[in-house]
Structure 1
Amino acid sequence: MSIVGLDIGTTGVKAVVFREDGTFLTAPYREYDLESPKHGHLELNPNEVLDAVREVLGKAAAETKDDPIRSLATSTLGEAMVPVDGENRPLGNAIIGFDARGQESVPLLSEKLTDREVFDIAGHGINSFHSIFKLLWRRDHDPEVFSRTRKFLSFGDFIQASLGIEPHIDYSMASRTLAFDVRKLDWSPEILDAVGLSSELLPPVAAPGTNLGALGANDLGLPPDCVVAAGLHDQPAGILGAGIQPGESMLATGTVICLGVHLEGLPEAQAMVENNLCYYPTLGAGQYISIAYNFTGGSLLKWYRDNLAGDEIPEAKDCGKDPYDIICSGLPENPTDLLVLPHFATTGTPWLDDRALGAILGMRLTTTRKEVVKAILEGLLHEIRLNSEIYAQAGVDIQLYKAIGGASRSETWMQIAADILGRPVAILAINEVPGVGAAATGALAAGILANEGELNDFIAGCSEITRVLEPRAEQTRLYDERFAIYRDLYPATSDITHRLFALGE
C-alpha cells in the first residue's frame, strides 16, 4: 500500500507518494498562476487549484495501481481562504496572505486588544496578512460575495469538501487566521467579537492527524477506502517531514523563504511579540512550532528569470537544462558589493510591513547580471540571518539548518546560506519534505503508522542527510561586514518605500 501527502502551495500542487516503508514512489506536479487584478492584490482561483489537485491525484493513483493509496492528508499554504456557498462551491477567489488588503481593518482589533494580549491567545501578533483581515476586507468591499458566503475554507478544507468529506480545518491552519486560541484549541470569541465576525463563518477545527473519513466512490482512481485526514500548514509539515530536532531549523525555500523550529518549551514571549514571531500547534498533543519568514523567497529568482535573464533561457532550452541551473552558474566567487532588500512581495518577519518595497543598492555601470543574481541570493539569506539572530534572543539557538524546497538542489545557493548564516547547512535525500510530513500525518490517522515510534522511524528514513555544507571562515567574515550594513537597510529606507508605495495606491 502507499500514502500521499498533497502539498498545496502558492504557485503549484504536488502529490507526494510513498510506500508505507518510506520508499518514494512518485510526485506529480502542476503549476497555477497567482492573479493580480489590481495593484497590491494577489489571489488564487480555487477552481484552477482544484483542477490541478484533481490532475495530480489522478496521476498519482494511475502510477500506484500496484501500491494503492490508503491515506491522504494535505500540506497547505497559509492564510488564503476560499468563500464557499452552502454546497461548498467557491464564490470568488482566495486572497493571499501577502496581498496588501486588510490593513484598514487592523484597528478593529488593535484598539480593543494589545499585541501582547492577542499573542497570548493566538500565538501571533496583529498583522494584516492574517485571514481575518482578508475576511473583513471582503465584508466591507465585496458585500455581495460576503453575504452569500456560508464558510471560508482554507485550501486544505476546500479540497476535503471537493472530495466529499465534511471540511475541517486543522489546528495549525486555524492558527494562521489569527482567530484561533492556540492553548484552548478552538476559535477565540475574544478576537472574533472584537472584529465583529462569527465563528459560524469558519469550519470546525480538528487536530492534525484526525481521521475525517473514507473517500468513498470517486472519479480519480483512488481506492474508496482511502482515509482522508486533517493535515498541516505547509511550514509545520516541512518541520515534521525534515525531522527537525532541538537546535535545528528547517530552511525552506519555495515562493516564500522560511525558518522553522520545533519548540522544546514556549519561547520568551516579549522578544517574540516585539519581532512579530509566532508559535502554534503542530502534530502531537502539546507540540508547538515557530516560523520566521520572508514572503519573497524563490519568487525573486523567478522574477529575475522572467524579466532580466539574457542568454540563459535559450541556453537552457538548447542544452535541456533547468534555466535556474544556468542562471546560478558562473557566479562571482566572493561576496558581492550589492545589497538586495528582498521585500518584493511585502515583508515577512520581523517587519511585517505590507507597504514595504524591494530595492537593489550598490549598482554601478560595471555591475553584471551574475552579480545581481548572487546579490538576490545573498539578500534573501541576509533577511533569514536577521531572523535567526532574533530567535537567539528569544532563547532558540540554531546550530544546524536542514534545507528543503527547490533551492536545496542548488549547492551554490546552499553554500552561500552556510557562509552567511555561519552554520552548517544539511542537504536531505528527499526534497519534498512538506509532502513527507503530510503523508505521515495521514498514515497516522489511518493506522498505517501505528504510533509515534513508527511515525518517527518513517520520518527518519525520509529525512536522511546526504551532505553537509560547512561555512567557509573567510567568506563568513566578509559576509559579516556586509550584514552589519544590511541590518540597517530597512530602517533607513522604509519611509522612502512607504512614500513610493502610496504613489501606486
Structure 2
Amino acid sequence: MYITIDLGTTNIKFVLWSSDGQIIAKRSIHTPMEKDKTINPLKLIEIIKEIIENFERKYRNEILGISVGGMAESGLLIDKNGNPLTPIYTWLDNRGEEELIILQKIGKEKIFEITGLKINPKYSLAKILWIKKHHKNLWKDSYKWLNAVDFINYHFTGRAVTDFSLASRMLLFDIRNKEWAEEILNLCEIPMEKLPEIRPAGSIIEEKEYAYVLGGHDHPIGSITLDLSKGLYDSWGTAEALLIHTSKPMLTEYIRRLGYSVGCIGEGLYYVIAGIPYSGGIVKWIKEKLGFELKINPTKTSGILFFPYLMGKENKDSEIVKAFLYGLDINTSLRDIEQSIWEGVFYETKSIVESLKENFEFEKIIISGGMTKYKSLLQLKANILDMPLNISEERELTSKGLAFLIAKALNKTIESFKEKNFLIIYPQNNTEQFEKAYLEYKKIKGLLGL
C-alpha cells in the first residue's frame, strides 16, 4: 500500500492506495490557512501526523511508501533543529514585490532564460528577499528555506531536499542545468547552503519503516499519469493550470511574452504551464461575497462580459488590470452577472488554449480536479471552448501521480496508476453565440494590452 498527501490551497487530501491502483481509504482535511494567507507549519504537521498514524495503526505492515505533493510557491524558514522560524507564506501572499526590483539588474528576458519564469512576487525569492530586508537577524540565524512540501518531508526524514518541479517555481532554479541559479543567488546575496538539495521527482529521500519518495508540484505531478503526447492537461481546482509536456525547456520569446512558465519534472520531461490563478476559487467568492448560488445556463450567453482578473493580470506595459464587468444595461439581472462570471473564466481559458495551439499540437483536453463535479459548468466550458472535454474519472490526479512515483521508485507495477478512464463532454450545437461574445472579449483584451 502507498500513502499520498496532496497539500492543496483549500484542502489536504490523504489517500491510501493499493498496489494495483485502488483507493483503500481517503480523508480530506481543510487546509489551516490563516486570514493573512499564511499557514501555521506546526498546525499543518499536527494534522498530517494524526492522519498518518491512523493509517499506520490499521495497515502498518502493509505500507510500502509515502509521497507528498501539493501547491508550489509556498515556503518557510527553519532553524538547524528543524523548527519553523516563520509561517508558511503561500502563493496568495504578495510580500516582497518591492524587493524583487533588484532583478532588473539582470533583466526580465534573462531571468526567463534562466528560470523559465517571469518576475512575480508570488515566487519564493520574493519572500526570501522580504525576510532578508525586514527580519535580518531571523535570516542570519536560519538554516534553510524550504517549500511547504519539503518541510513536511523534512519533518519525517530530517533531509532538506526539493524536486525539480517545486524548484521550478522559486525564481531561483537554473532550468537548463537543473541546479540553483548562481547569478541570481549572487546578486541577491543568498548563500546556496540555505537552499535544499535538488533531485528529480520520484527519488527516494530515505527508507525507514517504509520509503519516503519525493513528490512535487501538484499540477505537473498529476500530469504524469496521462498520455499527453497529443493532449493538453487542464488541472482545475482553486487555481486552473493548463499544461503541455515537452522533451526540452521551451524558453522561447513567444512563451515569455505570453507570460507562461516553463518547468521541469525529471530528466527529459519538461512542461509549459499557463493558467488562471483564481478560477475554481470563484465558487467560494460568488457564494461568500456576492451571495449567488451556482446556477448557470450552459446553452445561452448572458450578453455581458466578465474579465476574471481577481488577483490582477499584468499587461504589456507592466500595468496591473483587475477584474471587471462590461456591457451592463438596464435589462441586466443578477442572474446574468452570475452567468457572465463563468463565461468570462472560460473565455480566458479559451484564449490560453488558442495561444498554446500556435506552438503545440494537441487533439484533446483532459480535465481533472475538484471543479469537475460541476457538470453544468463543464458543459458551458465545452460549449465555449468548442472542443470535447475528456473528464478524468479520478478527480484528484495529483494523488494518483504521487502513487505512480512511489510504485516506480520501488520498481513495482505502474500501469494501474496511469489514468485511462474518461467521461467525454461534447460541445452542443449552439456554440456560435459564445464565439461571437468571445471575439468581443478578445477585442477588449487587446485594447487593454493583455
Using structure 2 for the length normalisation, give the TM-score: 0.92
* Distance of 1:246 and 1:20 partners within structure 2: 26
Match of 1:500 in 2: none
Instruction: Describe the superposition over 1:183-234 as per-residue Cα deviations: whole angstroms up to 9, x where unpaired.
Output: 211111012112222212211111111111124xxxxxxxxx2210111211
Q: Please, which of 250, 258, 261 is the counterpart of residue 275 of structure 1?
A: 258
What amino acid sits opposite 2:230 in the alignment? Answer: G
Q: Residue 269 of structure 2 aligns with which residue?
A: 287
Q: Does residue 411 of structure 1 match 2:410?
A: no
Indicate which of 95, 100, 105 corresponds to 2:99.
105
Shift of 1:482: 1.4
Q: Structure 1's 66 and 100: CA in aligned 2 closer, same or farther, altered over 3 A?
A: closer
Q: 1:66 to 1:13 in 2, by over 3 A?
A: same
Equivalent residue number for residue 48 of structure 2: 53
Provide the rounded CA distance (Å) in 2 between the counterparts of 1:170 and 1:137.
24
In 2, distance between residues paired with 1:488 and 1:148? 52
**CA separation of 1:370/1:27 partners in 2, compared to 1, >3 Å: closer, same or farther?**
farther
- Distance in 2 between the 1:364 and 1:247 partners? 43
CA distance in 1, matches of 2:403, 2:316: 33
Determine which of 276, 279, 293 is the counterpart of 1:297.
279
Q: Percent identity?
A: 21
Is 1:459 the counterpart of 2:417? The answer is yes
Rounded to whole Å, the distance in 1 between the matches of 2:86 and 2:424 is 45
In the alignment, the residues of structure 2 paired with residue 51 and residue 490 of structure 1 have an alpha-carbon distance, to the nearest angstrom, of 46
Number of paired residues? 450
1:340 aligned to 306, 309, 318, which one?
A: 306
Given candidates 110, 119, 127, the residue that maps to 1:126 is 119
Asked if structure 1 preserves the Cα contact closer than 8 Å seen for 2:68 and 2:153, the reply is no
Mapping 1:477-492, distance limit 5 Å: 477-490=432-445, 492=447
Return closer, same or farther for 1:488/1:135 CA change in 2, 3 Å cut-off: farther
Residue 474 of structure 1, aligned match among 430, 437, 445? 430
Partner of residue 217, structure 2: 233
One-letter amino acid of the counterpart of residue 154, structure 2:
A
Q: Partners in 2 of 1:344 and 1:21 — Cα distance?
A: 42
- Residues 237, 353 of structure 1: CA spacing in aligned structure 2 closer, same or farther, 3 A cutoff? farther
Equivalent in the alignment of 2:184? 191
Larger displacement relative to structure 2 (228-237 or 206-215): 206-215
Q: Cα 1:139–1:185, aligned 2, differ >3 Å: closer, same or farther?
A: same
- Contact 2:220–2:265 (CA under 8 A) maintained in structure 1: yes
Question: Over the residues paired in the alignment, what is the CA RMSD in angstroms?
Answer: 2.5
- In 1: Cα distance, 2:121 partner to 2:147 partner: 17
Q: Do the aligned partners of 1:28 and 1:59 also contact (CA within 8 Å) in 2?
A: no
The residue type paired with residue 474 of structure 1 is N
* Amino acid across the alignment from 1:72: I
Structure-2 separation of matches of 1:93 and 1:191:
24
Q: Which amino acid aligns with 1:384?
A: T
- Conserved in 2, the CA contact under 8 Å of 1:296 and 1:346? no
Alignment map for 1:346-365 (pairs within 5 Å): 346-347=312-313, 355-364=320-329
- Structure 2 regions of 5+ residues with no counterpart? none
Q: Which structure 1 segments of 5+ residues have no match?
A: 216-224, 311-326, 496-505
Number of the residue aligned with 2:294: 328
Could you tell me which residue of structure 1 aligns to residue 386 of structure 2? 422
One-letter amino acid matched to 1:430: E
Distance 1:469-1:351 versus aligned 2 partners, 3 A rule: farther
In the other structure, the counterpart of 2:231 is: 248
1:110 aligned partner, one-letter code: Q
**3-state DSSP class of the match of 1:298?**
coil
Change (3 A) 1:354 1:298: farther
Is the contact made by 1:7 and 1:435 (CA closer than 8 Å) also made in structure 2? yes
Contact 2:346–2:381 under 8 Å retained in 1: yes
| Matched residue, 1:23 | 22
Report Cα offsets for 1:413-461 as digits up to 9, x if no partner: 11122122222101122111011111111222233x2xxxx43x1233x
What CA distance in whole angstroms lies between the structure 2 residues aligned with 1:61 and 1:485? 56
Aligned partner letter, 1:10: T
2: distance between equivalents of 1:34 and 1:352? 33
Q: Mapping of 1:299-318 within 5 angstroms? A: 299-309=281-291
After TM superposition, the structure 1 stretch with the greater mean CA deviation from structure 2, 83-92 or 137-146, is: 137-146
> Among residues 116, 141, 149, which one is paired with 2:142 in the alignment?
149
What's the secondary structure of 1:308's corresponding residue? coil
Matches of 2:49 and 2:43, distance apart in 1: 10
Indicate conservation of the 8 Å contact 1:331/1:370, yes or no: no
2:59 is matched with 65
Letter in 2 for 1:485: E
Instruction: Identify the residue that residue 219 of structure 1 maps to in structure 2.
Output: none
User: Map of 1:367-378 to 2, 5 A cutoff?
Assistant: 367-378=332-343
Q: Aligned residue for 1:437?
A: 401
Distance 1:188 1:268, change over 3 A: closer
**Residue matched to 1:77:** 71
Counterpart of 1:163 in 2: which secondary structure?
helix
Cα deviation code 1:60-100 (max 9, x no counterpart): 445x5288321111222111111111111111212222422
User: Counterpart of 2:161?
Assistant: 168
Greater RCO, 1 or 2 (C-alpha within 8 Å, sep 6+): 1
- The code of the aligned residue for 2:235 comes to A
SS in 2 for 1:231: strand
For the residue of structure 2 that corresponds to 1:110, the secondary structure is helix
SS of residue in 2 equivalent to 1:328: coil
Residue identity opposite 1:466 in structure 2? F
- Say which SS state the counterpart of residue 483 (structure 1) adopts: helix
CA distance in 2, matches of 1:353, 1:212: 41
TM-score between the two structures when normalised by the length of structure 1: 0.83
Compared with structure 1, are the counterparts of its residues 32 and 364 closer, same or farther at alpha carbon in structure 2 (3 Å cutoff)?
farther
Q: Are the equivalent residues in 2 in contact too, given 1:6–1:439 (CA < 8 A)?
A: no
> Normalized per residue, which structure has more strand?
2
Among candidates 174, 179, 200, match of residue 207 of structure 1: 200
The reply on whether 1:391 has 2:384 as its aligned counterpart is no
Q: For the Cα contact (< 8 Å) 1:106–1:133, is it kept in 2?
A: yes
2:237 maps to amino acid = G
Residue of structure 1 equivalent to 2:151 = 158
